[in-house]
Amino acid sequence: MQQVAEKYGIPFEDVFFLDLNLSGIKVDMRCSRVRFQVTQQNPYFVTSMERGESDYFFGLPVRPKSQHRVDMVNNTMTFGGETIGIVRDLANDTCDTTYPRKGGAVMNLNANSKSSCHGCAFCHTLKQTPKDREDVSTESSLRNFIDRWLQKYNVSDLSYLEQVAVVTGCFGGEKKTLDHLIMVRKVFKDYGYEGELFYFGSEIRSDDALMKLKREAEPFAICISMECFTNRERWLRDIKRDLTINEIKRILKTSLDLGFNTNFSYILGLEPLEVVKKGFEEMLPLINRFPVINVFQPHTDGQEILRYKDAWDIGYYMKARKFLEDMFSGTNMRPRPWENYRALWYLTFGKEKLNGTRTP
């Protein structure tokens, strides 16, 4: 990995963490996916240690053959038997109703039991233990949840939050999704929240819905869960499958014209690089926030067959990283480290440093 880092002129950490995400982790726990924080203690990681940024958070598939391992006796993460860092808060990566990000400044709200969605061939949610059955779909249940949140974090209101993110796509249609988003804005406003309402999904599609969100839910942001450019009819569940790339472009264009923060999500490792490059070039004029680019993580032997043949080589990701850096270099859009735990970038984007918290 050190040779790869030197060849491409990037920090060792960026290569190491990419390999960790691609390979998963070996750990003696009876679950299919784990999450934890790690504090680096290895001299190879001089870049981040010198910058005082040694704490990271990961959600990883449990893969018995991985060289990355958690030693539960010593609470360490190792690679090839060598200690990398201290592990904290190791747990089954359950699918939760809500969880914080960005050091607690962001609340992710899984409002409609995301774990009930079993459709996309590459999805990891179906392998997570569901802990998202708490009802927050009505105004009264959402208020009860917020009251408990305030008590849990010992705060008087929600004005300290920067973003509330609705991150599920399981409402079953646009109207239910739209009604929920507007209800969330109304309720959270009563608790002093005036920050960004962020929607991550694919059920908001019409111009009328977007214009209603403009009137009733600003400041609003949208990330279309696009995931791939090709094979959509084979890899995606029905509700995403019928959303064509041209339709996604129309939604992004309308959102951008309305002044919303606008982007899309993509899973890297499923398609040839020429498809990735062409697709991003076409999408670039239609967004104003850096896309959420996740690297593909297979959770079962069956899912491994989805990985594109060239994507078994780490050079595939290095090449994608380079042409995406070149593509976005003339914009003000950059990856946000707190937003993505399966990232292609950690410490640098091109020659620029990426700063900010990387833990929940």
- What angle (nearest 5°) sits at the alpha carbon of residue 208, between those of residues 115 and 265? 40
Residue 50 has pLDDT above 70, yes or no: no
Domain count, the chain: 2
Domain assignment of residue 39, yes or no: yes
Domain assignment of residue 338, yes or no: no
Do 133 and 20 lie in a common domain? no
**Lowest mean per-residue pLDDT among 169-173, 262-266, 282-286:** 169-173
Q: Taking a C-beta distance cutoff of 8 angstroms, is the pair 58, 35 a contact?
A: yes
Q: State the chain's mean pLDDT as an integer.
A: 91
Do 271 and 199 lie in a common domain? yes
Do 36 and 158 lie in a common domain? no
Q: H helices of the chain, where?
A: 2-8, 12-23, 46-50, 139-153, 174-190, 207-216, 232-235, 238-241, 245-257, 273-283, 301-304, 314-328
Domain assignment of residue 76, yes or no: yes
Model confidence at 52, pLDDT cuts 50, 70, 90, reads low
Do 82 and 100 lie in a common domain? no
Do 164 and 312 lie in a common domain? yes
> Looking at the DSSP assignment, which residues form a beta bridge with residue 83?
78
pLDDT at 77: 96
pLDDT at 132: 47
> Rounded CA gap, 42 and 50, in Å?
12
Q: Taking a C-beta distance cutoff of 8 angstroms, is the pair 95, 73 a contact?
A: no
Tokens linked to 328: 């976005």
Omega of the bond prior to 100 within 30 degrees of 0, cis? no
Model confidence at 299, pLDDT cuts 50, 70, 90, reads confident
CATH number of the domain that 195 lies in? 3.20.20.70
Of 92, 120, 147, the last residue of a domain is 92
Of 92, 120, 138, the last residue of a domain is 92
Tokens linked to 201: 């999904």
Domain assignment of residue 120, yes or no: yes
Of 92, 127, 160, the last residue of a domain is 92
Residue 58 has pLDDT above 80, yes or no: yes
If you count DSSP H runs as helices and E runs as strands, how many of each does the chain have, helices first?
12, 16
Ramachandran region of residue 349, left (φ > 0), alpha (ψ -120 to 50) or beta? beta
Q: Taking a C-beta distance cutoff of 8 angstroms, is the pair 211, 255 a contact?
A: no
Do 159 and 110 lie in a common domain? yes
Do 145 and 48 lie in a common domain? no
The model carries a pTM of: 0.93
Percent of the chain residues topping a pLDDT of 90: 77
Residue 319 has pLDDT above 90, yes or no: yes
Residue 322 has pLDDT above 80, yes or no: yes
> Rounded CA gap, 84 and 81, in Å?
9
Do 123 and 268 lie in a common domain? yes
**Lowest mean per-residue pLDDT among 91-100, 213-222, 316-325:** 91-100
Residue 255 has pLDDT above 90, yes or no: yes
What is the torsional sign of CA 28, 31, 32, 37?
Answer: negative
Q: Taking a C-beta distance cutoff of 8 angstroms, is the pair 187, 139 a contact?
A: yes
Domain assignment of residue 52, yes or no: yes
pLDDT at 45: 79
Instruction: Read off the pLDDT of residues 66-118 as tens digits, 9 standing for 90 and up.
Output: 999 999 999 999 999 999 999 999 999 986 778 899 999 999 998 765 555 55
Do 58 and 37 lie in a common domain? yes
Percent of the chain residues topping a pLDDT of 70: 92
Tokens linked to 211: 């214009």
Tokens linked to 218: 């600003």
Do 98 and 73 lie in a common domain? no
Residue 217 has pLDDT above 90, yes or no: yes
Tokens linked to 99: 């969880």
pLDDT at 357: 86
Do 83 and 135 lie in a common domain? no
Do 220 and 238 lie in a common domain? yes
Domain assignment of residue 87, yes or no: yes
> Rounded CA gap, 262 and 293, in Å?
14
Domain assignment of residue 345, yes or no: no
Domain residues for the domain of 132 are: 94-328
Domain assignment of residue 344, yes or no: no
Residue 23 has pLDDT above 80, yes or no: yes
